Amino acid sequence: MTRREGGFTLIEVVVAFVMLALILSVSFEIFSRGIARAGDLGDRANALVVAQSRLAATGAEEVLKEGVWTGESEDRRYQWQVTVRRAEELATPPGGKTPSAAYALYLIDVHVSWRGADSREHALDLSTLSTAPKPT
């Protein structure tokens, strides 16, 4: 009778390496997707800052009036468009007359777009209502 020495056979070692390779490749894929998702969320957070700053600046830097304004962020990565419309014109009552008041209600829409790391176009929209003295 021959005595068998302890150790692994070649097939056991190959199977262990194949399993290790599969586990590592799946782990790297999960990790890389997590990193990419974090980058996308960072881009969306920056776009939200741009949109909020445009909402805050509209009507604060100059008198609120109807129109469309466009521009881009300081780093030129985010393009924005601000649209200001009279809200009374959007919801005119059935009689066709709007009530007389010293102030007008305006709808402010901000659209921010950018190209992500995946080379696709992304966009974020914010809206708010604001009042301003009626134009004379």
Question: Is residue 90's pLDDT more than 70?
Answer: no
pLDDT at 82: 96
Please provide the average confidence, as pLDDT, over all residues in the chain: 87
Question: Is residue 64's pLDDT more than 80?
Answer: yes
The one-letter amino acid code at 125 reads D
Three-state SS letters, the chain? CCCCCCCCCHHHHHHHHHHHHHHHHHHHHHHHHHHHHHHHHHHHHHHHHHHHHHHHHCCCCCCCCCEEEEEECCCCCEEEEEEEEEHHHHCCCCCCCCCCCCEEEEEEEEEEEEECCCCCEEEEEEEEEEEEECCC
CATH for 10-133, options being 3.90.1010.10, 3.40.50.720, 2.20.25.110, 3.40.50.360: 2.20.25.110
**Token duo for residue 131:** 């009042």
Q: How far apart are CA 90 and CA 56, in angstroms?
A: 22
pLDDT digits (tens, 9 = 90+) for 15-30: 999 999 999 999 999 9
pTM over 0.95: no
pLDDT at 29: 93
Question: Is residue 2's pLDDT more than 90?
Answer: no
φ, ψ (nearest 5 deg) of residue 132: -155, 155
